Amino acid sequence: MQLYNSLTASKGEFVVPTDRPVTLYVCGVTPYDTTHIGHARTFMTFDLLVRTLRWQGGDVRYCQNVTDVDDPLFERARRDGVDWRDLTENQVRQLVADCDGLNIIRPTFFPRASQEIDGMIPIIQRLVELGHAYEREGNVYFSVRSDPNFGAMARMGYDDLLATANQRGNNPNDPLKRDPLDFVLWQTGKPGDPSWESPWGMGRPGWHIECSAMATRYLGPQLDIHGGGRDLLFPHHPCEIAQTEPVTGVKPFAHVWMHAGLVWLDGEKMSKSLGNLVFARDALKEHGPNILRWYLLTTPYREEFFYERAEVSRTREPLGLVEGALAATSGSGTPLEVSRQRDAFAAALNDDLNTPLALAHILELSRAILAASDDARDISTAQATLREVTGVLGLQL
């Protein structure tokens, strides 16, 4: 299998271990305004990866977190006049229902940041001991200058790193920081925010440390694959690397970093802040899971996806062809041999999950089955293969 690694900006061979499961960590949602199509596409990408690895004989230990300790969640709870825990519970319930509706395999572990804080504090303490972090008035910051390779994955200079971080929640004007790009490991929080005891007083963790703690607790000090949306290329994932590797002493933190492209709607990036969201639950009601999955798989996962409401229903035509092939009548003539199409389908997925090509091979196989059925040939084995490969894509036909 060849996977594109964002850290090296190149494809490389991913060798599935035979003596243990593949460890996969995917950054999950901050539980408000879930589940939109952007979430769905990211989670479908890693659902497909899990299905492909298992289909080819591997085992996968998959952890996906819930970021339920974060400013946007608390701000939404205050705006709506609800307890943040109730908001989390309702949104997580919706997320699980939406992912089940899309036939997305549930992760092995599904931890919430609010329940993992005891595991974050020792990591922060160790970073302070090692000189990578410092405390100021009950806040603890990671010193980016202590890591000469900080932000390498993003391939940007300091000014661009700072500008990007500022767009994604960094406060460069915090007078307690040594460097405007230093990021929060622990903070005193705003009045009314939930807080926990720590060696630095009452407060709460920063966003980045949450994932490091959960990933290493459930999957160990080194991951095979770490994934998420393209928007996590900076600052979140480089911050995870910077704060995890000194504590574990293991490099690299993850062998492969995978990022799914963002979803656009009507020319703008689909995002909570813009409010231009298509919710998975609404799309599922309108189209059903098979149409929606097929549509989202028509673009390679690393590319940006331009969601067009009018285009989704056009997926009915290729799906109808596949369903027709599965329903076709088998004859008693020469059996149809489809090992070539099956191998080509596998090769497409092994090429960094090339789903457009995989879909093309499914259509080729379907047409061959229909033609063989017209000739009264035995298509039973070919139909079983078609069910197999559509199942790998998570289609329920």
Residues 383, 389, 393, 396: what is their CA dihedral angle, to the nearest 10 degrees? 30
CATH 3.40.50.620 occupies which residues in the chain? 2-7+18-122+146-154+204-283
The ranges of the chain with pLDDT < 50 are none
Q: How much is the pLDDT for 145? A: 98
CATH code for residues 2-7+18-122+146-154+204-283: 3.40.50.620
The Cα–Cα gap between 378 and 290 comes to 27
In this prediction, residue 189 carries a pLDDT of 77
The whole-model pTM stands at 0.96
Q: What is the CATH number of domain 315-392?
A: 1.20.120.640
Tell me what pLDDT residue 34 has.
87
Every domain of the chain with CATH number 1.20.120.640 lies at: 315-392
Instruction: Please choose, from the candidates 29, 32, 28, the residue with its C-alpha nearest in 3D space to the C-alpha of residue 86.
Output: 32
- The predicted pLDDT at position 253 comes to 98
Q: What is the pLDDT of residue 251?
A: 96
